[in-house]
């Protein structure tokens, strides 16, 4: 069993440690499709907690969720010149459907600027229809030749915000407001040290005027791009005819922003906080915050100890601490400590024996 | 403006009424890709409320969420004979990716039995690893020649549960437990009259032993298949080598169930409750339950009336009633009543004037 095999120490090979710990903590697994991963229940529950916190922050600042199609006509992607140059090498393309060759190939969305702004163009007539502040939780696909679980996978989960504004100033403010939300989330929930700033022209989003980034510091002394917020200017509104009649009656192109964070943040959490025993999940994001391991010598003791453990769990849950009792019979307490430590349930102390006191 | 144009009455043409009301209530819109829809914020917020309620019901019965890849190798789909026969005509296929032709085409998931059970086969060794009770919230794609918003679209959102059990009895119980959850949800949250029962062999899920269905009654006297729960027996476990060592040490194929409900339920809500003024959203699912429309004659009155309205909203929100004030200046109260009635905010009475009393 994997319980017996030690993790490669971080000091020896950080990258090998990362790959091992992500799988051993049951965060994710490789799938039969190269570059795609399976997010296992423990990893997904952490992502759900991230989603919950971010979703509240977006809604508190006036954003609504919606859902746009997965498949985008190739001609849409090609309309914004820098956009297509940036994304074309990474596209997955549907050429057959319903038993026939398609007349126009459809791209599995790598990001949704083109399809979303084409819809906004339909919905917006007047300055009164602005701003539009929409977010989408979705899967996206960017073909990846050197995949790494959570950090670089062909398919990943993310949120993408897309807004339209009646003037540039408002769009710039939105770009920075979201950058601030990302920073707060990463500091307060993920407990990550971050540096925010402007990407160089070579590194900015394909089609953006300016890209702001939240770079998170990992324990191997590298920075991870953990979230970006783009000021798109009128680049897309001009290609998709997203215009509105201004208060003065002038037909004007709207200003757009887009911004996103993804399941890559789960990888960031691992690389920032993990140790040689396993991952470490920041308490606010931990699906289970306390595990109680009952210890007994015989069946008679078992009933009494488990009853007491259940009572403790109920008291903890009632105060809002997400707790569970691990009463599995076929594992000894040591194996349980080892498993939960690997999965990063917040530790009371650093040394394992203290958990049993 | 569309405010002026009346909806086609249900009695005249139910199908035309449905298409109009879904778009006029801003639940959804057609997209540039035939068969795909855009779920607009109002429709998506209703879906989010459905998701929240169902997700709690699943978790309360021991299920966990996870995420499996969108793209499935064609050879996987072909492995279960009835499965491929049922789904092949509806598949969308990725043949090119990362700038190259793929060696094996990848199918955009129409459902995920094949990829999920191939992963379970990797994770399960002993009866102690069972049951697996996993649910996935995801988008799926089934090519559709006669699309209708929410009811039949090429892409739709759903949840798909996939479980594995150490004996058949437990799998049968799970299939029926979920059918019960679907029934409760549709009755208690969607306020739909439903009939549950067994699908005929011709209508059962491609690859299932038995399919149970929740059929909801619509006001045009037709039934809508609103959710299904399948007992899969060992059909998939045999094709994907999903075996476990039983308590007696015998290598045994697991028993599976799968079950799903989708955004089609939003269409069911419209067809069951809507009227000639608009949709009607059951109060528990309504994103906004109360809209307060301030009425005033001049700017002086406005400040006082809006202040009072805000105060009422805060009191309602504090008691858990989702409320908002519609203080838009460029619309008169009549236009606002008309809009919210179209969007199905629960009505105090049936006649519009009473709202202004």
Quote ipTM for the complex.
Answer: 0.95
With contact defined as beta carbons under 8 Å apart, do A195 and A212 qualify?
A: no
Q: What single-letter DSSP state applies at residue B192?
A: -
**CATH topology (fold) of B2-273:** BirA Bifunctional Protein; domain 2 (3.30.930)
- Give the model confidence (pLDDT) of B66-78 as tens digits: 999 999 999 999 9
Residue A66 confidence (pLDDT) above 90: yes
- Average pLDDT value for residue range B100-124: 97
Residue B146 confidence (pLDDT) above 60: yes
- Asked if the C-beta of B98 comes within 8 angstroms of chain A's C-beta atoms, the answer is yes
With contact defined as beta carbons under 8 Å apart, do B282 and B37 qualify?
A: no
- Give the model confidence (pLDDT) of A126-175 as tens digits: 999 999 999 999 999 999 989 999 999 999 999 999 999 999 999 999 99
- Would strands B251-253 and B243-245 be described as parallel, antiparallel, or unpaired? antiparallel
State the CB neighbour count (10 A cutoff) for residue A330.
7
**Exposed, middle or buried: residue A147 (CB in 10 Å: 0-12, 13-18, 19+)?**
middle
C-alpha triplet B8, B9, B10: angle, nearest 5°: 115
| Whole-number Å distance between alpha carbons of A91 and A75 | 13
Name the minimum distance, in Å, from the CA of A259 to any CA of chain B: 18
- Average pLDDT value for residue range A248-271: 98
Sheet holding A223-233, edge to edge: A64-65, A132-141, A155-165, A255-262, A223-233, A210-217, A194-198
Question: Could you tell me which chain A residue has the CA closest to the CA of B156?
Answer: A69
Q: What percent of chain B has pLDDT over 70?
A: 96
- Would strands B92-97 and B71-73 be described as parallel, antiparallel, or unpaired? unpaired
What are the helix and strand counts (H, E) for chain B? 10, 16
- Burial code of A338-352, b = ≥16 C-beta within 10 A, e = fewer? bbbbbbbbbbeeeee
| CATH number at A14-273 | 3.30.930.10
Between positions 40 and 79 of A, the ones with CB within 8 A of B are 40-41, 44-45, 47-48, 64-73, 76
**Exposed, middle or buried: residue B223 (CB in 10 Å: 0-12, 13-18, 19+)?**
middle
Provide the terminal-to-terminal Cα distance of chain A, rounded to the nearest Å.
27
Q: Concatenated DSSP letters for B68-115?
A: --SEEEHHHHTTSHHHHHHHGGG-EEEEEETTEEEEEEEEEPS--HHH
Put residue A267 in one of left, alpha, beta given phi > 0 → left and psi -120 to 50 → alpha: alpha
Higher-confidence position of B243 and B88 = B243
Q: Pick from A32, A87, A115, A145 the residue to mutate for testing the B interface (most B CBs within 10 Å).
A: A32
Q: What percent of chain B has pLDDT over 90?
A: 90
Widest CA span in chain B: 84
Query: What confidence score (pLDDT) does residue B69 get?
Result: 98
Residues of A in contact with B128 (CB under 8 A): 330
Provide the terminal-to-terminal Cα distance of chain B, rounded to the nearest Å.
27
| Whole-number Å distance between alpha carbons of A213 and A195 | 8
Label residue A61 by pLDDT band (50, 70, 90). Answer: very high
Label residue A1 by pLDDT band (50, 70, 90). Answer: very low
Label residue B1 by pLDDT band (50, 70, 90). Answer: very low
Of A31, A70, A76, the CB nearest to B155: A70
Task: Report CA torsion sign: A184, A189, A194, A197.
Answer: negative
Phi first, then psi: give them for residue B232, nearest 5 degrees: -95, -5
Of A37, A41, A95, the CB nearest to B96: A95
State the CB neighbour count (10 A cutoff) for residue A72.
26
Residue B349 confidence (pLDDT) above 50: no
Domain ranges of chain A: 14-273, 288-356
Rounded to a whole number of angstroms, the CA Rg of chain B reads 24
| Whole-number Å distance between alpha carbons of A123 and B25 | 13
C-alpha triplet A31, A35, A39: angle, nearest 5°: 50
- The beta strand positions in chain B, using DSSP E, are 28-30, 37-39, 64-65, 71-73, 92-97, 100-108, 132-141, 155-165, 194-198, 210-217, 223-233, 243-245, 251-253, 255-262, 290-292, 323-325
Test B29 with A115 for CB contact under 8 angstroms: no
- Asked if the C-beta of A329 comes within 8 angstroms of chain B's C-beta atoms, the answer is no
Class of domain A288-356: alpha beta
* Nearest in space to B67 (alpha carbons), one of B164, B171, B138: B138
Between positions 330 and 349 of B, the ones with CB within 8 A of A are 330
Query: What confidence score (pLDDT) does residue B299 get?
Result: 87
Query: What confidence score (pLDDT) does residue B4 get?
Result: 59
Q: Concatenated DSSP letters for A294-319?
A: ---SSHHHHHHHHHHHHHHHHHHHHT
Label residue B351 by pLDDT band (50, 70, 90). Answer: very low
- Asked if the C-beta of A99 comes within 8 angstroms of chain B's C-beta atoms, the answer is yes
Name the minimum distance, in Å, from the CA of B68 to any CA of chain A: 5
C-alpha triplet A345, A227, A285: angle, nearest 5°: 20
């Amino acid at each position: 069993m994997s319980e017996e095999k030690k993790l490669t120490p971080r000091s020896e090979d950080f990258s090998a440690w990362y790959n091992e710990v992500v799988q051993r903590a049951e965060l994710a697994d490789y799938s039969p499709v190269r570059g795609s991963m399976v997010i296992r229940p423990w990893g997904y529950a952490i992502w759900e907690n991230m989603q919950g916190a971010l979703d509240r922050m977006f809604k508190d600042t006036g954003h609504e969720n919606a859902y746009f199609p997965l498949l985008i006509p190739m001609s849409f992607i090609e309309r914004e010149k820098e956009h297509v140059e940036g994304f074309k090498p990474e596209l997955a393309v549907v050429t057959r459907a319903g038993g026939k060759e398609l007349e126009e190939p459809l791209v599995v969305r790598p990001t949704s600027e083109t399809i979303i702004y084409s819809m906004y163009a339909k919905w917006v007539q007047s300055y009164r229809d602005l701003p539009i502040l929409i977010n989408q939780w979705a899967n996206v696909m960017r073909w990846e030749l050197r995949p790494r679980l959570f950090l670089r996978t062909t398919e990943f989960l993310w949120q993408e915000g897309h807004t339209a504004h009646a003037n540039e100033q408002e769009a710039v403010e939105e770009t920075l407001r979201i950058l601030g939300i990302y920073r707060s989330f990463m500091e307060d929930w993920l407990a990550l040290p971050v540096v925010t700033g402007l990407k160089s022209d070579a590194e900015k989003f394909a089609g953006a005027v300016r890209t702001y980034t939240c770079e998170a510091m990992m324990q191997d002394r590298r920075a991870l791009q953990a979230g970006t917020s783009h000021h798109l200017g009128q680049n897309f509104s001009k290609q998709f005819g997203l215009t509105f009649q201004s208060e003065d009656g002038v037909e004007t192109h709207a200003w757009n922003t887009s911004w996103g964070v993804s399941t890559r943040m789960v990888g960031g959490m691992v690389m920032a906080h993990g140790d040689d025993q396993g991952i470490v999940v920041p308490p606010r994001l931990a699906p289970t915050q306390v595990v109680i391991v009952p210890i007994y010598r015989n069946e008679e003791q078992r009933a009494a100890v488990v009853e007491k453990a259940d009572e403790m769990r109920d008291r903890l849950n009632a105060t809002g601490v997400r707790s569970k009792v691990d009463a599995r019979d076929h594992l000894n307490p040591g194996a349980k400590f080892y498993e939960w430590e690997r999965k990063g349930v917040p530790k009371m102390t650093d040394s394992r024996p203290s958990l049993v006191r």
